[in-house]
Amino acid sequence: MISALVKAFAQLSDPRLRGVLIFGIAAAAAAYLALVGLAWVLLGHTSWFETHWVDRASHVLVGLVTLLAPLPFFPALSTTAMSFRLEAVAEAVEGRHYPALSAPRPQPWTEVLVVSLRFLAATLVINLVALPVYALLLLTGFAFILTLVINGYLLGREYFELVALRRLSPAEARILFRNRLGQWWLAGAVIAFLFTVPLLNLAAPVLGAALMVHRFQALRPLDDRV
């Protein structure tokens, strides 16, 4: 696991990985600026109070809130944008570290849709089941641990499927996931932790995809590595 993480960090200098990272940050920045710009335009054409200085003060206050409120969601926006290009990360990591691999298998859109819907359903069910436990642990200060455990499973599954379905059929991927569940869960927990570290969370999707490529290649059956 440590070796895979070191390799993932080391390849951040790869232009292909940097390109995905820059794309995600730029897309998030564009969305943020568009939101702030729209809010300021609307504020400039809105009057709430008859008293001029009160109206101006309220505009400044709302403007500051508009500037600051979206900032906590910036990593999420960046992650969402990067998610559409993580295949390129997997391809770059395979190309550098596993050049003997054959071309990845084609994935029909129906397969992608079914896998995505299954993952969405699992996410909803797991979070709903864990909600009472999370509320209880919130009072004890252990909510972070539960969050790490749950997100470790979900992110482990998500990034495993991203990587595995390039090489295996959905049925084969499910078997490998079940057989090595603890390993994928641990990898997911590492990725989940990366998402909690300020600034580093911006690169977490790229690092997560790279990490999972290395773990997949290390844990898949030897006679299946093509």
The three-class DSSP label of residue 69 is coil
Question: Residue 83: which of 122, 36, 34, 119 has the closest Cα?
Answer: 119
Query: What is the full per-residue pLDDT of the chain (226 aa) written as tens digits?
Result: 888 989 999 998 899 999 988 888 888 888 777 777 776 666 665 665 556 555 566 656 666 666 665 555 666 667 777 777 888 899 999 999 999 888 888 877 777 677 666 766 766 676 676 667 666 666 666 667 777 888 888 888 888 988 998 888 888 988 999 999 999 999 989 988 888 888 888 888 899 999 999 999 988 865 555 5
Q: Report whether 21 contacts 206 (CB < 8 A).
A: yes
Backbone φ and ψ for 104, nearest 5 degrees, come out as -65, 155
Going by C-beta distance under 8 Å and a sequence separation of 6 or more, which residues neighbour residue 170?
111, 114, 115
Coil vs helix vs strand at 166: coil
Among the listed residues 210, 191, 18, the one whose alpha carbon sits nearest the alpha carbon of residue 96: 210
pLDDT tens per residue across span 147-194:
788 888 888 888 898 899 888 888 898 899 999 999 999 998 998 888
Any idea where the domains of the chain sit in the sequence? 2-224
